[in-house]
Amino acid sequence: MSAWILTVEGTQIGHQLAMVLALSAAFLHAVFGALQKGQHDPWLSRGAIDICYFMMATPIAVFVLPWPEPGLWPIFAGMVIIHLIYKLMQAAAYSRGAYTVVYPVVRGTGPVFTVLGAYLIFGETFTMLQWVGVAVLVLGLFGLALYNAVYLIEDRATLRAALGFALVTGLFVALYTTYDAYGIRAAQDPFVFLIWFFVLDGLSMPPFAYLRWRKMHNRPDLLPLFLRGMIGAWVAFFSFGSIMLATRLDKVGEAAILRETSTVFAALIGWYFLKEAVGPRRVALILSIAAGAVIVEVAG
């Protein structure tokens, strides 16, 4: 598989595969966000997911795949720090605001900075029409968040703090997307990079989750939390793996834009599973997000 990935990298087949992987990552990322925001405390959900994918990835990293080349270890160190800050900010946002408000802000902040980072680091450029697509997508995302905040939120005591954490989280989405793309491109075998990401990243959040669990007066049962963590771990494998392979195969900026259609899937999940309302104006905003992604892809 690794050899085939390397042969299609930078080709038309690689471009098409990157598009499919980015859209798959979008759907799975929305599922992942809903799992973290669901019935359990977001900090505990994230800690359970991380420890589960650590346990699942470690045997593969140690006994199946070759060890990373020495030059990857400093990259891994920076990656762990960036992702830890991202997860702390995300958990803080989710614990203070509604999923359908926080999620679009997080995803709306990321694309512009990711495209700029891809230009600075990888020399990628967008056409004028692609920038129009970026603007349509971002306006749709922030419009969706604003609509949800105005019409759907009753308790506004923590809304401002939630939006602040969401903006910071979005910045770290852009940072980890470009940084991880640099890392997976530096690796000889992209799957070695991916599996070691889950091993190392899986160790950072569980201590924070455990401390939060210890301080709770009504501690939730660990078995349901662990089961959610197992499901989330599988989703994370395919979601993160898909977007990282997409950034290896094709442009980082385009993959990041396509991933932000996750908000379309998130709105459907929020409506169906979390019982959050979806009206015609929200549908129009969701369609503008999808339209922006289509413009970016077609114009490229």
Summarize pLDDT for 48-81 with one digit per residue, the tens.
Answer: 889 999 999 999 999 999 999 999 999 999 999 9
- Residue 143 structure tokens: 């419009």
Q: What is the mean pLDDT of the chain?
A: 84
Asked if residue 155 has pLDDT above 70, the reply is: no
Return d(Cα 278, Cα 27) in angstroms, integer: 18
Give CA separation, 45 vs 8, 82, 206, 211, in Å.
37, 19, 10, 13
Give CA separation, 129 vs 132, 135, 286, 293, 298, in Å.
5, 10, 20, 11, 9
CB neighbours of 174 closer than 8 A, spacing ≥ 6? 109, 110, 111, 112, 113, 114, 116, 117, 256
Least confident span in 42-46, 178-182, 244-248: 42-46
Asked if residue 272 has pLDDT above 70, the reply is: yes
Using an 8 Å Cβ cutoff, are 256 and 20 in contact?
Answer: no
Q: What is the pLDDT of residues 98-152, one digit of tens each?
A: 777 787 788 778 887 888 888 888 888 888 998 998 889 888 888 877 887 777 6
CB neighbours of 21 closer than 8 A, spacing ≥ 6? 242, 243, 245, 246, 249, 255
pLDDT category of residue 274 using cuts at 50, 70 and 90:
low
Using an 8 Å Cβ cutoff, are 140 and 111 in contact?
Answer: no
- Higher-pLDDT residue of 179, 92: 179
Asked if residue 1 has pLDDT above 70, the reply is: no
Return d(Cα 267, Cα 170) in angstroms, integer: 18
What predicted TM-score, i.e. pTM, was given to this entire model? 0.84
Torsion sign over Cα 40, 44, 47, 51: negative
Tokens 């409506």 correspond to 271
First-to-last CA distance in the chain? 27
Return d(Cα 176, Cα 240) in angstroms, integer: 11
Q: What is the pLDDT of residues 162-217, one digit of tens each?
A: 888 888 998 898 899 999 999 999 999 999 999 999 999 999 889 988 888 888 88
